[in-house]
């Protein structure tokens, strides 16, 4: 089973995604966000710590943005694609580049992972942000992020068996 779980900030998407893997042993949890620095950003560190406390001891955490480094077998949970997109755009210094250039860069990194998800046996749960439900962002970076994450979500939804939209802790299977 391959599931894309999407929703807004604090919607409950991560807890739902983790619940989809209840009873699975040896889950690889891919955390593509920045490693928390409690002195620099205590709120981010607290968010990451809360996620870590919920994970079973048998789950292995892989902190990486290199999706090619993700093992090709066994149960997988990636949380979240939004932090991955932000990180790879930051690392490439592309926030001021034309949108087509940003999308080309992100897709070049994503496409091999999409192929791997398609071919993968076992449970795959991918968590992503759904940002296109409100107004258009005032700042270019917000509009660029919405465009890119929307395309990332569509690309991964194509290879998933199900897409779950989480709103206020409620799950709608699309």
7 labeled binding residue: yes
| The one catalytic residue among 16, 40, 51, 139 | 51
31 labeled binding residue: yes
Q: How far apart are CA 108 and CA 128, in angstroms?
A: 18
Whether 40 is catalytic is no
Angle 140-157/81-92 helices, nearest 10 degrees? 130
37 labeled binding residue: no
161 labeled binding residue: no
11 labeled binding residue: yes
99 labeled binding residue: no
Q: Which two tokens stand for residue 161?
A: 């068996």
63 labeled binding residue: yes
Assess contact for 13 and 170: CB atoms under 8 A: no
Which positions are annotated as active-site residues? 51
Which residues are annotated as part of the binding site for GTP? 7-14, 31-33, 63, 79
Which residues are annotated as part of the binding site? 7-14, 31-33, 63, 79
């Amino acid at each position: 089973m391959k599931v894309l779980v999407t929703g807004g900030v604090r919607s409950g998407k991560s807890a739902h995604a983790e619940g989809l893997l209840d009873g699975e042993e040896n889950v690889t949890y891919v955390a593509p966000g920045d490693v928390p620095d409690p002195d620099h950003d205590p709120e981010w560190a607290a968010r990451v710590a809360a996620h870590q406390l919920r994970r079973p001891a048998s789950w292995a955490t892989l902190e990486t943005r290199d999706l090619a480094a993700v093992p090709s077998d066994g149960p997988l949970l990636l949380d979240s694609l939004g932090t991955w997109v932000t990180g790879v755009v930051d690392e490439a210094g592309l926030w001021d580049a034309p949108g087509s250039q940003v999308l080309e860069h992100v897709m070049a990194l994503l496409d091999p992972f999409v192929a791997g998800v398609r071919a993968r046996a076992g449970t795959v749960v991918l968590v992503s942000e759904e940002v296109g439900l409100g107004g258009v962002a005032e700042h270019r970076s917000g509009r660029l992020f919405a465009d890119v994450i929307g395309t990332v979500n569509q690309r991964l939804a194509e290879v998933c068996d199900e897409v779950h939209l989480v709103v206020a802790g409620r799950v709608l299977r699309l």
